Chains A and B, each alone.
Chain A
Amino acid sequence: MVEPLSEDQADALQEVTNIAMGRAARSLSTLLDTFVTLAVPRVQLVDAANAAEAVQETANLPDTVTAVRQAFFHGLRGEALTLFAPGGGHNVADLLGLDADELGDPPEDEILIETSNILVGAILSGLGEQLETQFSYTPPSIFATNTPMDRVLNPDDLEWTTALLVEVTFTLESRNFTCHVLVLLAENSIAVIRQALDRLLEEF
């Protein structure tokens, strides 16, 4: 059983995440040349058994999602899942320099993978900077296509029992585009975070 974060630690983490998302949103706005919002509705410890439920509660997701997965390791270990409503990717293809006619098959995959990589990279480098740690990444890949949420995070398939979940909602209002990034930090990384947070708290 993982000890829950203290109130101070939880506040500090929420604060760190907000700062990180502010930075990430600014670089994404520059990159995509349009206004973006990154909201952090909640940072929480979740049990594998009710992870899907916890995500559904905050994210207001459609019935089925397409998920892109990317693992990160080195300073902190964990996985990031970006959840998309099916079919939305085409609204943002041109922002990524992707032309509909030169895309592979199925064309939406590349858009979603690309979007996920940029978001996860921006979010994690923002977090890493705040927590003074760095990451290495695996290439992103399609994890699930048009799949109900409880099958994306099926407790039977999850290796962990408790993880720290940072949820980030990415919105491009001008394109009517939203997706959700779930950063799941593995159990043994929670201790590392705790230490980093305590260090930050001491500095205040």
Chain B
Amino acid sequence: MAQAVEPGPDFSALVENINVGIVVVNRDHEIVCWNRFMAAHSGQPADEVVGANIFTAFPELPERWLRQKLRSVFLLGHQAFSSWEQRPYLFKFPHNRPITGGVDAMRQDCTFFPLADASGETGYVCITIFDMTDASIYQERLQRTTQELEELSARDRLTWLYNRGQFETELLAAFRHRERHGGHLSVILLDIDHFKTINDHQGHDTGDAVLRHLAACIRNRFRVSDVAGRFGGEEFALCLPETDAEGARLAAQRLRQEIHDEPAVHNGMAVSFTVSMGVSEADSGMPDPEALMKEADLALYQAKEAGRDRIVVYGENGAS
């Protein structure tokens, strides 16, 4: 800092009043400076802590870590840092957001830098403490919002099943996993029979109720590891890891039965509907998940052709 010609302000008042914590310790770790920020947040006035060993005055400090930090500054003569992102705080202070905070203590960024004594040698380390609580809360909110947006962009808004894009991402991962580790992988492609008629004759509200009811049945019926997606309109898809074609057929049958037994309800009225399903199991000859989906689609087509309300496994009963 350049020396002013005129006497200038009292710099100790600057240290005292600045809205940053300033602590200076000597080589014996005795506190030689403790500004108002520190006094106000710790509840310990300067005249009580100045002259005291910092670890005696504040036994809750991370002693081993701080000793080594101070040592590195004394020894190497350069700055050291500590960020709230790795270490939330050095001094545990209440923060100024008692109502809106959601954090337990003031988040702090700290800088440690050497200060020379009268002889020009590093005789002291100055610790500055910045209140990062607001920044940490905003970052937390931002992360939460980003997560919610990611969730939102992966889901179909009506049924809250995965949308087509996310389903395809999940299916690709399952497909690659099977390629590397072996095992079974099956898909079910499902289509609601005569959905257009339900929409046209009973209204779109009823159609939506049917879609939501079907999504609920799927969620009840399948494992967490199974992935369900709404493919568009009235088409749904399921990806079943560790399941062979026979297992997938049984799962499909149980789903079909549940839909028979428990129709959708809209405005107090039961709305019966049926579904057709095509099942296919992955085999080593398949280059990509699209080939697997294509087989399931052919099986579904055959189920429709054969009169709907049924399940066809690709390659069975002449289906090919």
Contact = CB atoms under 8 A, between A and B. Distances in A.
Interface of A: 27-28, 30-31, 96-99, 102-104, 109-110, 113, 117-118, 121-122, 124-125, 137, 139-141
Contacts of A98: 65
A122 B75 CA distance: 10
Given A30-B75, A102-B62, A139 B109 contact: yes
Nearest to B77: A125
A122 B69 CA distance: 14
Interface stretch (B20-28, B78-86, B147-155, B311-319): B78-86
Given A96-B68, A97-B64, A31 B83 contact: no
Nearest to A106: B86
Given A31-B71, A139-B81, A125 B86 contact: no
Contacts of A30: 75
Contacts of B136: none
Interface of B: 62, 64-69, 71-72, 75-81, 83, 85-88, 109, 111
Contacts of B71: 31
Contacts of B86: 103-104, 109-110, 113
| Closest CB pairs A-B (n = 9) | A97-B68, A121-B78, A110-B86, A139-B81, A97-B64, A97-B65, A104-B86, A125-B78, A31-B75
A124 B111 contact: no
A31 B109 contact: no
Contacts of A102: 62, 65
A31 B71 CA distance: 7
A117 B72 CA distance: 10
A139 B69 contact: no
A99 B78 contact: no
15 contacts: A27-B76, A31-B72, A31-B76, A97-B67, A97-B68, A98-B65, A102-B62, A104-B85, A109-B86, A117-B80, A121-B76, A125-B76, A125-B78, A137-B78, A141-B85
A117 B67 contact: no
A139 B113 CA distance: 12
Contacts of A96: 65, 68
Contact of A113 (B68, B77, B83, B111): B83
A121 B65 contact: no
Nearest to A102: B62
B83 A122 contact: no
Contacts of A31: 71-72, 75-76
Given A103-B86, A113-B81, A121-B76, 5 more contacts: A27-B75, A97-B64, A104-B88, A124-B78, A125-B78
